[in-house]
Chains A and B, each alone.
Chain A
Amino acid sequence: MISFIKKSYVVIILIIMYAPIALLMLFSFNNSKLPIWKGFTLSWYAKMFNDASIQQAFMYTIIIAIISSFAATVIGTFAAMGINRMVSWQKNIAMNITYIPLLSPDIIIGISLMMLFSVIKLPFGLPTLIVSHITFSTPYVILSVMPKLKQMDYNLYEAALDLGATPWYAFKKVIFPEIMPGVIAGAFIAFTLSIDDFVVSFFNKGAGVDTLSIKIYSMARKGVNPTINAISTIMFSTIIIILLVMNIKVNKKLSKSQTK
């Protein structure tokens, strides 16, 4: 029994993780609105590509994700550098403040941002969505850049300054290459969080600007429409393809550097 569990452990976990997604993908090809297999069809995909509102929601989702993850990465990286140079008690306070948005539920962030935006009269729509996404993803960037900064020897930066580099040049040539993996990881987290988000977006959306998650949720009212499955299948496959391509590239780089 134990040896069986040992052998099949990974398989069991993979099945638990991916069975629902596999089922969802399967039913995107189902020739019925209800979850009973009635034969193969591509009509849900056709319907999805013919529906302008789905494409619009998709476009907004991507625009928001790109802008907000880029801004959050810039803000988060510089914030992490600043926090890293603080004296210990200041650092503690700053880090704890960073943790608060991470630990508080999305719905609280969503509602409090909504109240803030209506007080400062920011027009609801893309601006509010982008600002709110930057707000909740910045702490994740800070947290992913921080360890890289701690690993880095600060003397390198000072040495660069001593050798005549301007602070900006030293940042570009010394600090940034060192913390790069953390920055990229942070950017990816921010990007996926932004695409994922439903709750915060829901409270801060404006007229005519629906993200994909909001669109899917509102479509589910009359039963889960297989068009939703089709969208999800495409999103999931795209992510898998991106991951595969990235992995292959990294592997190639590794094998190249090993042969050198």
Chain B
Amino acid sequence: MKKLTKAITMLITVSLLILSLAGCGESKNAITVYNWGDYIDPEVNDLFTEETGIKVVYSEYANNEEMYATVEPGNVNYDILFPSDYMIEKMIKKDMLQKVDTSKLDNYKNIDNRFKKLPFDPEDSYSVPYMWGTVGIVYNTKMVEDVVDSWDVLWNEKYKEQIFMYDSERDSIMVALKKLGYSMNTRDEKELEEAKKLLIEQAPLVLAYVGDEGKGKMVNGEAALMVAWAGDAMVMMNENPDLAYAIPKEGSNYFVDSIVISKASKNVEAAYEYIDFLCRPDIAAKNAQYIGYSTPISKARDLLPEEIKESEVAYPKDEVISHSNMEMFNDPSDIVELYSSIWTEIKASN
């Protein structure tokens, strides 16, 4: 017993010692980064430390809301964050971000012009684009004879019980609003009411409202059509060559995850260096290949393997993406409740 207590005391002392030492190293010349899970090539942080001597203290979150919940109370001072479009809008409103002087970033010029002056940050004064992607329809070419170029195909009786919809209120209501030709950011209750009716009408055709598990089922041919993100579509098409992806002509949603500096950041200079590093074409290409989403940096895209670079799934033609019916979500805080009540009704209808 004595030996055991001794051993445990030793263990604790040693680990406390190590921890306190580790703590010392972090205070100077380190930046804290809070990013989505699995959203960077793990080598990139090491490369950054090698080149600049700045240590990266790295943490991860699973979604925008979770990130917001941990950053907002101000208990932890993160330097760099990676919110999506609508969350950036919200954080700017709440004064949680620092202005980013893009002239200080050598590699900012690499970012394609169409990812500048985006609606959530019209002056490019707070955010630097990191990754982007679209939402569209993944379909099995062996099961779908019609040309898939419109959301209408998801309302086609022929595909009864062969359709997967996304189990997410925002994404599903977006599909209906787009089909009706409205903006997906509408606050008009009449338009939302119409969207609700449309989705209730569609419910009998839907095999299931799926989350992540839909991907595997789609590859297995359990359904013919599915609403999906381009990044997921690439993964699925890789597994099953019969699958194809289309962005409907009525328009769709596209997202941009950007890099921002938190108001609480204490090491702004190092934060600039980190952002600049991530915008360097070779680094951006490394990340794009690891993550599987699309990079907003053309020079980085050129470094990618042929099949990704030329893919119209990951990199749709300019005229598709710059069309005015491609929209980004805006801050939903004011309409969250209406959305969830609509969604509950739709789900309850079948």
**Footprint of B on A, CB under 8 Å?**
32-36, 38, 50-53, 63, 66-67, 70, 114, 117-118, 124-126, 202-203, 205-210, 214-215, 217-225
Q: List, in ascending order, chain A residues with CB within 8 A of B291's CB.
A: 222
Taking A126-B19, A207-B57 as given, write out 4 further A-B residue pairs in contact, using a Cβ cutoff of 8 Å, ordered by the A residue number: A34-B215, A50-B42, A219-B37, A223-B235
Contact of B36 among A202, A218, A225 (CB under 8 A): A218
Q: Which of B66-111 contact A (CB under 8 A)?
A: 66, 70, 73-78
By Cβ-Cβ distance, the 5 closest A-B pairs, closest first, are: A218-B37, A208-B57, A207-B32, A218-B60, A34-B216
The reply to whether the CB of B239 lies closer than 8 angstroms to some CB of chain A is yes
> Do B239 and A38 touch across chains, with their CB atoms under 8 A apart?
yes
> Do A221 and B19 touch across chains, with their CB atoms under 8 A apart?
no
> Do A223 and B12 touch across chains, with their CB atoms under 8 A apart?
no
**Knowing A126-B19, A224-B212 touch, does A219 contact B239 (C-beta < 8 A)?**
no
> Do A36 and B219 touch across chains, with their CB atoms under 8 A apart?
yes
> Which single residue of chain A is at the shortest CB-CB distance from B57?
A208
> Do B15 and A63 touch across chains, with their CB atoms under 8 A apart?
yes
Within the complex, the shortest CB–CB distance from A123 to chain B, in Å, comes to: 9
Q: List, in ascending order, chain A residues with CB within 8 A of B219's CB.
A: 34, 36
> Do B60 and A222 touch across chains, with their CB atoms under 8 A apart?
no
A-B contact pairs, 23 of them (CB 8 A): A35-B216, A52-B46, A66-B8, A70-B8, A70-B12, A117-B75, A118-B75, A124-B75, A203-B70, A205-B59, A205-B70, A207-B76, A207-B77, A208-B32, A208-B59, A210-B59, A215-B60, A218-B36, A218-B60, A218-B62, A220-B37, A222-B37, A223-B215
Q: List, in ascending order, chain B residues with CB within 8 A of A70's CB.
A: 8, 12
Q: List, in ascending order, chain B residues with CB within 8 A of A32's CB.
A: 239
The reply to whether the CB of B169 lies closer than 8 angstroms to some CB of chain A is no
> Which single residue of chain A is at the shortest CB-CB distance from B232?
A223
**Knowing A34-B219, A66-B15, A114-B73 touch, does A221 contact B59 (C-beta < 8 A)?**
no
> Which single residue of chain A is at the shortest CB-CB distance from B26?
A208
> Do A221 and B62 touch across chains, with their CB atoms under 8 A apart?
yes
The reply to whether the CB of B236 lies closer than 8 angstroms to some CB of chain A is yes
Within the complex, the shortest CB–CB distance from B220 to chain A, in Å, comes to: 6
By size class, the interface of chain B is: 35 or more
Contact flags B184-198 to A (C-beta < 8 A → 1, else 0): 000000000000000
Bound CA–CA A217/B15 (angstroms) = 26
> Do A36 and B239 touch across chains, with their CB atoms under 8 A apart?
yes
Contact of B63 among A50, A67, A221 (CB under 8 A): A221
> Which single residue of chain B is at the shortest CB-CB distance from A34?
B216
The reply to whether the CB of B155 lies closer than 8 angstroms to some CB of chain A is no
Within the complex, the shortest CB–CB distance from B343 to chain A, in Å, comes to: 21
Within the complex, the shortest CB–CB distance from A48 to chain B, in Å, comes to: 11
> Which single residue of chain B is at the shortest CB-CB distance from A126?
B19
Q: List, in ascending order, chain B residues with CB within 8 A of A218's CB.
A: 36-38, 60-62
Bound CA–CA A32/B95 (angstroms) = 43
Bound CA–CA A221/B61 (angstroms) = 9
Most chain A C-beta atoms within 10 Å of own C-beta, residue among B62, B78, B219, B232: B62
> Do B73 and A118 touch across chains, with their CB atoms under 8 A apart?
yes
The reply to whether the CB of B213 lies closer than 8 angstroms to some CB of chain A is yes
Bound CA–CA A218/B66 (angstroms) = 10
Within the complex, the shortest CB–CB distance from A13 to chain B, in Å, comes to: 26
Contact of A219 among B57, B60, B212 (CB under 8 A): B60
Bound CA–CA A222/B220 (angstroms) = 19
The reply to whether the CB of B11 lies closer than 8 angstroms to some CB of chain A is yes
> Which single residue of chain A is at the shortest CB-CB distance from B292?
A222
**Knowing A34-B215, A53-B42 touch, does A217 contact B57 (C-beta < 8 A)?**
no
Q: List, in ascending order, chain A residues with CB within 8 A of B59's CB.
A: 205, 207-210
Most chain A C-beta atoms within 10 Å of own C-beta, residue among B26, B39, B73, B236: B73
Bound CA–CA A117/B42 (angstroms) = 31
Q: Which of B1-48 contact A (CB under 8 A)?
A: 8, 11-12, 15-16, 19, 26, 32, 34, 36-39, 42, 46
